[in-house]
Amino acid sequence: MRILLCNCNSPPSLSLTPPQKPPPSLFPAAAVWTKKTLITALSGALSLTLLVSSPSPALSSDSPPFQPPRPPQLSTPLPDRCNEEEEEQLQNKVVLKPEFVTNEEIVQEAWQIVNDSFLDTGRHRWSPQSWEQKKEDILGTSIQTRSKAHELIKRMLASLGDPYTRFLSPAEFSKMARYDITGIGINIREVPDDTGSVKLKVQGLILDGPAHTAGVRQGDEVLAVNGEDVVGKSAFEVSSLLQGPNETFVTIKIRHGNCGPTQSLEIQRQLVARSPVFYRLEQVSNSPSSVGYMRLKEFNALARKDLVIAMKRLQDMGASYFILDLRDNLGGLVQAGIEIAKLFLNKGETIIYTVGRDPQYQKNVVADTAPLVTLPVVVLVNNRTASASEIVASALHDNCRAVLVGERTFGKGLIQSVFELRDGSGVVVTVGQYVTPNHLDINGNGIEPDFRNFPGWSDVSQHLLKCNLHQQG
């Protein structure tokens, strides 16, 4: 936990003026809200405490009240391959409110999440057998209070020896709100079916949240957003379609379970995240060229969308180069980092290699579209550049799209997911790890920059040219 109290070195000396607060008119008033069962993969430096303890808006008593949606309209079921047993389980599933969940059930729920998802990253302190014994030892006696249940979960997670896997109190969990990328309190995941097709299923949602109140349930399939068919789209793309300004409405079409009726629901967004992006155009000394400076403070739900706005505006204003400032960016959403890296890379270029017990983390992640911009990029890093920031920095560096300037990065190559328990608390669990396109294991090592001090623009171009020639030859 020392990183929370460390006296970090000064950032690299640059000719750029210190970052300022962005003018309010530069960014949309969009933000993001949620508490859900599985928030999705996040990353942070040393501990997700760094993510939840940084200044951020919180759900408070003076937040705008949620307005109930209009009555939904049911339509006839669409043909589908139905699993009757699974469908019956979904229909009979009872969602319990926090006060009706026993202390033993909360502890067992946390145990099951670790049992299903935890990735031992080398400490060799976890095994199915030892973890099963842990459950028997803990649940062998009555747990009288909720605070005792939470304390048992903390001890259970601590026994794993993983500094990133930890318990979140309900108050701490609510601070994760800025990482929901849908704005309506659901988590969408791509799920293959028996025919080889991919469906977009609701894999987590908050009880009494916007989507849940409107009638969305765990396991529902998302079919359309605002009348646009989502077949062939990724979960991230559909989540982006769901985003919009606070208190506006979005209409989604869902199918309940595998073979239930389809239903169109109008859901009001509730949003709390703030833009993590600041940008400006700067004139290069003794040159007619201009540089587009972009500072990204964290990888929250608005990071990609607002960075796209910044890049397009800076390019329209005549930027010849880009500076992406990731200093002191401790991470955030892994998927946001991946999607931001895609903005710079050619189709087919590797972003990251990931591994994990869950098949969704066992893959080679590549760019699947043409880059948004092709101008040279300088990425500023320091010893507090971590996790999702390191994913972006290494992807751009290893594919010869950017030079790195500053200090060696923090060195965290693990992926966590945040799961909500039924009493509003949560657990953060290490579920995967990654290596860079050049197969560098970042965890514990960090990334060495190309330059300690800011180079001349001719040096940047020459370095990128040599990198490309080396890859080709």
Q: Which residues are catalytic?
A: 387, 412
Residues 119, 122, 128, 131: is their CA dihedral positive or negative?
negative
Residues 283, 287, 289, 294: is their CA dihedral positive or negative?
negative
Quick check: helix, strand or coil at residue 319? strand
Helix, strand, coil proportions of the chain in percent (round to 5)?
Answer: 30, 25, 50
For residue 181, the Cα-to-chain-centroid distance in whole angstroms is 8
The number of beta carbons lying within 10 Å of the beta carbon of residue 47 is: 20
Among 340, 309, 329, 322, which Cα is nearest to 281's? Answer: 322
Amino acid identity, position 444 = G
The first and second tokens of residue 214, run together, are: 């409107």
Residues 411, 414, 420, 426: is their CA dihedral positive or negative?
negative
Owner of token pair 């916007």? 210
Is the Cβ–Cβ distance between 297 and 273 less than 8 Å?
Answer: no
d(CA 126, CA 135): 13
The first and second tokens of residue 410, run together, are: 């923090």
